[in-house]
Amino acid sequence: MIVRTFIQQHEDLSQVLFYALIITSLWVAECIIGATKPKSKAPHTFLNASFIFTALPLQLLLTIFIILILKWTNANHWGLIYFIPYHLNKWVYYISLFLLMDLGEYTYHVIMHKFDILWRFHLVHHSDLKVDVSTTLREHPIETCIRTCFLMLWVFLLGPGIALLMIRQAFQSFFNVLAHTEFRLPRKLNMVVGAIFITPNLHHVHHHYQLPYTDCNYGDVLSIWDRLFGTYQELPAEETHFGIDTHTDPVVTGRFVNILKIPFQKLVRK
């Protein structure tokens, strides 16, 4: 009861703590199970962790507006959910909104790739030459603002309640971090799990340094959207090379200040 009350009263802080717990746990798992020792992983981890200092203040500030929008839509019964038959049934309500929120995140991800002005900021995430759990943190502060503004839009259009939003964000955090880990599922297991969910195998393909693979597997939690809209691709691990072909210089992609400058430099589209 105490934990539930804390989460309800501190939704933004609860999300941050949950996110931190997942990242830390999987980072430790990578050290134990993976081939890279903690000392070798440290420089890469510290580089990507530096983005916490730009993302966290913005995330916490903008979450205030998300909550305000959410309270308004709920108070005024505003949102697409109210037009879905039987929305008062809790299963229809939760499943419908979860699917719609996930479709929204898929749409956001596609938009970030298709418009050059937005791609400039999103490619910061793709510029990591070594994808592991810390890559999850690698996000330009302006993309943090853009991503959160899109979330505001989905909340305004769909009208989810606070409980659904928190459940959705918890799933998103878990799958987002898991997708960036060094681990890959065995092929047969990936065929089963990947039929519905985004797995590390599928997301690694998205981080391949060249087209057409960069523009595939946009899914956030579910892989069904990629299959439905024709953006699904597979690529063997041995053929997957991380990074982006327009930014392969470790001096540029391996230093925090240089990474922040990437969107403002001359860019040749992938």
Q: Kindly state the DSSP code that residue 184 receives in the 8-state scheme.
A: -
For residue 184, what are the contacts with CB-CB under 8 A and spacing of at least 6?
A: 190, 199, 200, 201, 204, 237
pLDDT at 36: 65
Beta partners for residue 247, in sequence order: 244
- Long-range pairs for 171-179 at CB < 8 Å and ≥24 separation? 171/98, 171/221, 172/105, 172/220, 172/221, 173/15, 173/18, 173/19, 173/22, 174/22, 175/220, 175/221, 176/136, 176/220, 177/19, 177/22, 177/23, 177/26, 177/133, 177/136, 178/22, 178/26, 179/203
pLDDT at 68: 94
pLDDT at 182: 87
pLDDT at 270: 45
In angstroms, the Cα distances linking 89 to 64, 73, 86, 157 are 29, 19, 6, 20
Cβ–Cβ under 8 Å, residues 134 and 49: yes
Which one-letter amino acid corresponds to residue 23? Answer: I
User: Tokens for 159?
Assistant: 């009208």
For residue 77, what are the contacts with CB-CB under 8 A and spacing of at least 6?
A: 159
Per run of 10 residues, the mean pLDDT along the chain (length 270 residues) is: 48 64 68 67 90 90 92 94 87 94 97 95 95 93 96 96 90 90 89 93 95 94 95 92 91 92 76
pLDDT at 6: 44
